[in-house]
Amino acid sequence: MFTGIVTDVGEVRSVNPRAGNLHRITIFCGYPRTEIVQGASIACSGVCLTVVDGGEEDGRSWFAVDAADETLRVTTVGRWRQNSKINLERALKFGDELGGHLVAGHVDGLATVVAREDMTEMARFALRAPAKLARFIAPKGSVALDGVSLTVNAVEKDTFSVLIIPHTLQVTTFGALRKDENVNLEVDTMARYAARLMEMK
């Protein structure tokens, strides 16, 4: 589990196809090498991936993960290339502060930026969600976009908006996000369960 509070912005070092429909992705990061262990889970722009290798190069830490074709197809991972920037968060540990909301790292689909409004040090994004996911998004509810826990401001049909504060613009990839780009969307688990209970009734 994660909280949607990004702790580093990583940089893709390489993407290499491997046997078994896997792709080995190596990512530079700011985490100490000694704290990156094989088998650990790291949310990479909202996608929970397992560390399979790690090391240092030119004084920079790196870790490697394997992603299957399905992951590349349904998330933005398939568009990552060398030098791509991605939001990183290590798995939640007992005793950690839950600053955002509970995020599983299981992406539900892709949301598309339909508008960006830059204000004084802040930015408002309007995004279109896949129709099957729109019903899980409500005003004042939570969503995870590229692994960032955000509060929904407004909803109109399948479009919703979020306000990005200056700190988030600076420490995540949202500062560079533009219209027509896609982000990984994970809806709030509580909203999903509530909708399922209503269906059962």
Q: Which positions are annotated as active-site residues?
A: 2, 41, 48, 50, 68, 106, 151
Angle at 170 between CA 164 and CA 173, to 5 degrees: 75
104-124 burial, b if ≥16 CB within 10 A, otherwise e?
ebebbbbbbbeebeeeeeebe
User: Is residue 59 classed exposed, middle or buried when 0-12, 13-18 and 19+ CB atoms within 10 A define those classes?
Assistant: exposed
Cα separations in angstroms, 189 against 40, 58, 93, 103, 133 = 22, 41, 19, 8, 12
User: Is residue 34 classed exposed, middle or buried when 0-12, 13-18 and 19+ CB atoms within 10 A define those classes?
Assistant: exposed
